[in-house]
Structure 1
Amino acid sequence: MARRHSLLTRLLAMSVVVAGCSIGATAWLAAQSTSGAITREIGETLATDAKIYDSLLGHAATHPRWSGVQRLVTDLSEQTGRRITLTTTARAPIADSGGPQDPPLPQTPSAVVDPLAVDAVLKPDAAASGIDQRAVGPYLLTPEERDTSRALARRQLECMRGSGERGEIVERPNGRSVVRVVDDVPESTVAQVPAREQAPRPTEPPSAVPVEEAAICAEPAVPTATEREATTALLALVDACLDRQGLGALAVDPASITSPEELPAGPEAQRCVDSAHREQLASYVSGPAQLYITKPGGDEPAALSTVGISRIVWTAAAVLVLTIGVTALAASKLVRPIHAVTSAARKMGDGDRSARVDTRARGEIGELATAFNTMSAQIERTERQRKTLVSDVAHELRTPLVNVRGWLEAAQDGVATLDQPLVASLLEETLLLQHLIDDLQDLALADAGKLRVHTEPLHTGAILDQVAAAHRGRAEADGVELAVIVDGDPDLSADPARLRQALGNLVSNALRHSPEGGRVTLWARREGEEVLIDVSDTGTGIDAESLPHIFDRFWRAEKSRGRAGGGSGLGLAITHHLVDVHGGHIEVRSTLGEGTTFTIRLRADRNPGS
């Protein structure tokens, strides 16, 4: 009997070891396979979208109209398996690879294809000006000029090789051939080096080369008649812009410039150069078009790879076989939760991201079920975030853009005077746009507590006045009173741009949900060692059940605070991060039908005079 008990103990111990190891392997395979499939799917999607965007951008940069783009859209659709649709900004169709069986287009486009305003997210190598380098317009050389440029480049390359340097001939988008110096690359691989569109690097004539040959090596690029004419026209536009801003004209000789990138300009003048370049190219490129990239037949999520699921099923089957061989009791306890995990995994592989494991098992299997449920919830959340990313970004950028547009339209209509304070306010809104983009890119750092801020002593009243000025136009248009109350103008230490962004999000939400005749109030005061800033409205209010979730990323309340009202659920989450990174705290009070009050608590500046 003792021997039987001893054998049973050893078998049970072996069963526990095998089951534990198998369950651990199952959990690891499930996590690795599923996360790997998600990573590959997201990577392939981003790469495909970037390829489609770049191809269409190239067409727009080299064609003055979209009329011949249908062939390109059809080819790209066949290559990528996506439905590709181009429309005007008024949603009038330009080209569509889909058919009548496809559902209507989504409300928000995937991107805007504009060669004069390149999306740096989809095309990271875009020029700082935002103009696609393939858009050359009047700088396009004639065939004779191309041949002359190519012949000169060959002479320079031969001279360089005679002096021991290595190089290659590359052709710019406008047809000009230039010599590029290749450093530290074996001569056999020179032809494989990617060609960058840049002017040849000046070379010093070596002592071993004859004087006339050295002159060929150092011979500067001489603009063609086409380039001189285009540069002259461009300089006229640039000088007109500089004159409007009270700046002097560029002292540039068109006979020394071969491309707009060579114009010497400081930060102020560069804006005029970019603006003039866009104006010059406008008639040579296609107009902006909205791009929609969807799946043929609908926007159903693609099923994940079944390779990981197959491994999970085989591992789970091995656990069952080994456990049944050891004891029926252990098998009965292991089979049920393993079947639950397997069933949920199969559902998830079939596209059901809401699949969850319902089991009361403890130990390793319980941990596996918990890990699977957590992973499944994360996958579902990731899918939802990916689909709404474009609209979320648009929400955050919309507010400052509307403010800038509103003031500019008011100035154009003569309602407002385009004086220096207004220009300064518009410039601040433009800078806020850049901060918004940086915030969206750094949200992951914010979650880790690494979001960077640059604090400085501030007057709270000045900050509130700036925020109110930026939103006053919208408030007046909506018939809402926007008031600022400052008790004693307390001082605090904070990042002015990020604080304006946080308050701007709150004011924007308050205006959005306040009816005509309502009131939005910004109230600042000091209580002890803290500065309190309230943003209150007399709007629709938030129900008590929704209050705990309003700062969740991508969360939106129901009808009254849904997407139809303009919110995407990202603004309050960013505001919460911005307050946290300042070491402060934000809280909210609301009553349905009466209004909502957000209170930001920040540390007061202990040395306001320093």
Structure 2
Amino acid sequence: MRRSVLVRFLGLSLAVALGAVIATAVIATYSTTEKLQGEIDANTGQLQVDGEIYSQLSKYAADHPTWSGVDKLVHELADKLGRRVAVTADDGSVIADSARMLGAAPELPSVPAATIDVRNSGGAKLAGVSSVMNVYTARKTVAAGAAGGFVATANAIPPFVGAPDWGLTEEEQRNQAKLAQQVADCYTAKGRPASIAQTGGAVPQVMIESSQSLAGARVMEKPGAAAKDDTCYSPGLYAPSAKAKIVNDDEVRRAVACLDAASIDYQVNDFEGLKSIEPKAKGDFTDKFVDCTTQARVQALTPYVAPPAKLYLGAKSTFNVFSGEGLLRTAATALGVLLIAALVMFFAGRRLVRPIVALTGATQRMRNGDHAARVPVSGKDEVARLGHAFNDMAESIQRHDFQRKAMVSDVAHELRTPLANIKGYLVASEDGVVPLDQSLVTSLLEETGLLEHLVADLQDLALADAGMLRLHPAERDLSELVQQVVSAHRPAADTAGVTLTAALAGSSPAVVDGSRIRQALGNLVSNAIRYTPTGGHVVVGVRPVESGGRAGYNLTVTDNGAGIAPEHLPHLFDRFYRADVSRTRTTGGSGLGLAITKHLTEAHQGHITVTSNPGTGSTFTIWLPATSG
């Protein structure tokens, strides 16, 4: 996608304006927070709000090994629930605070609302599976204090990493979903309709139709323990994650070592792929037993969950623009916007000026004769297009300069031979070495004819290069032109022992310059005769075709000569190029015929192509439009 420099500068200006608007909106938002907070407090149960905050942060702690990145969640909760939310480490350092603005924030309440320690409490997600837990103590105390919050603590016997979706990788989640679908399909195939229920990020639950009904309605239930003997039930249906197994194994290993050292009797139970430890005697939860299992859980979970943190809750702080703190924040915001604008414009200006400087240097090198000067280009804007245009121009100048030098060298070479021959014969005749008879005059006339032909070809190319090649278009029958070319070249073909014929398709009217088309076809026919061995044949044809949606004709010259090697095909229409380097000017022509033919064809808004197979011959095809324009 091309990006305009004008559009980019407009975008930068809008970005700066947007930054100023956002900063203004932030200041205005803080100034109206107190009123909004009163409305939120009047419509939302404070305890429910605080419980949701605690639950969301506990879930985050259970899913992440550190508190890094919790700042986003803290601000989302604060904006959604209208509460100030702050999380600090045990040493009092602030991890995240929704009231922090530009590095400053009001002081935290004196008493934390709760301590988030999922290693002891299990967290919002981890404590959700009570079927594999023996709760030792659970205590929740709600107290009104300066923070207006609550204090919640809980202790549980391992394993508590039993939530079926805890620690699942994306691949494990896909495997669980696939397995659940297979189990549901199996029950359905056996006549017990089954479906899959899934809420949020939890693992899919297979629900089968119960044999009982409630008030005539169908009742869906999860497969019970008896279903494990059913062929449809899979042990891996609700298997814990690999991460949960690692934590559980480490937890049980540590607890067993501690209990063995304390000589406490215990038993290890298995449930859905996880292990739990219980006293040998039911309900015999001694302090030592609880201490061993609790410490084992804490040590096993430490690498996988966030460390303990204190949660502070309170009303969002009001913000007065005209207070000392408000003026400081306003000034800091304004300076930040100005700094960002200056940096953006500085880097954008450098990026714009750099290619212009490079273009200036390359232009100066071109002026000093360095036609190989180029500029590096990146992007797709106007400056990049200017760079591409400069490189194309430099490439064209260098190519034409090379062609000019090569052409001067080739012309000098082509003129040198006939002039040397003429001069040599004349000097020899003047010295009396060679008599000036009819034979010598004939030879001199042949050399003069070669020179005249070469000069005429060069003149045609010069006119074509200058765009001054004059055409006199008129409606002509291309079949008639082909017949004329064949008749004109048949004596040369007979002399070479080559059969020259025409393949016509009836009348072929077109608006062309007849003499120029005969010249173009004549060049092709001359080459075909020259490169076709004795006994071969050359066919000149014309037939109607369409090209690019335009009606036209293909003029073809086909021979069964030696053919052209593939590496020569791209250069056939270059000046003075000969595919057979053994041919000289005398036997191979001037080397300009095909170049002239190409120019004449393009002057008629047509094009020329060639196909060839070494050993079987070549076909040159000129396409001409039926009408001019």
Normalising by the smaller structure, the TM-score range is 0.3 to 0.5
Report which of the two has the higher share of strand.
2
In the superposition, the TM-score normalised over structure 2's length comes to 0.32
